Amino acid sequence: MLKKFKTIWWAGKLFFARIRYGNPSKKLRIIGVTGTNGKTTTVTLLHKIANKLGYKSGLIGTVEILIGEEKLKLDSSKSTPSTTPDSVFLTKIFAKMVQEGCEYVFMEVSSHALDQKRVAGINFMGGIFTNLTHDHLDYHKDFENYFETKKKFFEMLPKNAFALSNIDDPKGMAMLDGIVAEKFFYGFRKETEVLDFYGKILKLDFNGLELDFNGEKVNSKLLGKFNAYNLLAVWSASKLLNFNMKEVNKILENIEPPRGRFEYFISRDDVIVIVDYAHTPDALENVLSTIKEIKKENGRIISVFGCGGDRDPLKRSKMGKIGASLSDIAIFTSDNPRSEDPDKIIEEMKNDLIHEETKKVITIADRRLAIEEAIEMAQKGDIILCAGKGHEDYQEIKGVRNHFDDVEEFKKALK
């Protein structure tokens, strides 16, 4: 009864918000991006491209909310830690974007937002699916529920919208089954007749990516195969939006990755430090595999990562296994332990390790000390990956958020 009352109360609140602000989502061209990994990079690149082409656009994502180039300042009563804000808050943001002259909005659409109907009633002109891997199963209970929740986004797209899906993902085709929007597929495996946008990696190293998209050469400073997928999604969406592709290719050549997404710098001792948001098994494997492909022959990979507390405990042993098997030295540490004991989380990360992998693992619960230890151990030519927090500038312990920024900590320790 209480749940039903809350639903009715919230629907009423949203109804009056839309009347008050004139249903602003209908005055914008909104493109939503959903999937486990790649959402932030995809919306950020699309937002930068649109602005550089002269279209004022908004961005709603995990890292920030932007109107044009201006970051929306939120006070503590209005800020939200969610990837996708609630529907009433979104209505206010859209109204502000209309007022500021935005034409496009690129937004991340999370599975929680879809399940909780935070994006209900929004007038999307397009949707992009990146991939589906192990995440949020503490909330969705199993992978099939997680998939069905993501699929709801494409089922809500109108007939005149486009739906763009990664065909190389095992769920890429099924994600668009039975929808009314126009379907398009992108991928790197030329094995299907339904492929509309085909990519080929010509070169991959620490200078970036050299790619071929539908016969056109595209260069980027972004690194790794996983970013090749993000770039192809962005390039394909730009085509569907009828952007000037000659200009798009030029913009992609100089565009920087979002903060905390494969962000790297090189120390005076020629040690490469990479900070990345990878916090799922698939994302961690992608980043470590990329590092393996581009590292020097005699260089070692030292990884520093943990798993979040009060979140999907099933992925802990998987991430521990991936980190230990793909690193020369793996330092298991804290991520955001929240209400849980960091040592308990670390022990769960070690559950599936074989003897040889255990020998490569060091456990240091204090993340700052783990970072210092990684620097102490690193030699010329080594690569340190610090994964899990990326852009986050805090660490949540026992309900308290303390300032903590991985990049800052590395630079301090290197001094």
Are 242 and 376 part of one and the same domain? Answer: no
Q: What is the pLDDT of residue 145?
A: 83
Please return the burial class of 20, using the count of CB atoms within 10 Å of its CB with bins 0-12, 13-18 and 19+.
exposed
Beta strands at 272-276 and 263-266: parallel, antiparallel or unpaired: antiparallel
Domains contained in the chain, number? 2
Q: Which of 225, 254, 283 is the last residue of a domain?
A: 254
Mean pLDDT of the chain: 89
Within-domain flag for 2:
no
Within-domain flag for 13:
yes
Q: What is the pLDDT of residue 150?
A: 87
How far apart CA 385 and CA 371 sit, in angstroms, is 10
Within-domain flag for 185:
yes
Instruction: Give me the domain span that covers residue 194.
Output: 7-254
Q: What are 16's two structure tokens?
A: 């009056």
Determine contact, residues 140/149, Cβ cutoff 8 Å. yes
What is the model's pTM?
0.86
Q: Which of 192, 226, 254 is the last residue of a domain?
A: 254
Determine contact, residues 150/114, Cβ cutoff 8 Å. yes
Digit-coded pLDDT (tens) for 265-305 = 889 899 999 999 999 998 999 999 999 988 888 999 999 99
346-362 average pLDDT score: 97
Q: What are 395's two structure tokens?
A: 């660490």
Are 219 and 284 part of one and the same domain? Answer: no
- Reported as a pLDDT band with limits 50, 70 and 90, residue 137 is very low
How far apart CA 297 and CA 94 sit, in angstroms, is 50
- Reported as a pLDDT band with limits 50, 70 and 90, residue 36 is confident
Q: Biggest alpha carbon distance in the chain?
A: 64
Q: What is the pLDDT of residue 338?
A: 95
Q: 192-201: long-range contacts at Cβ-Cβ below 8 A with a sequence spacing of 24 or more?
A: 192/167, 194/167, 195/167, 196/236, 197/232, 197/235, 197/236, 197/239, 199/228, 199/229, 199/231, 199/232, 201/225, 201/228
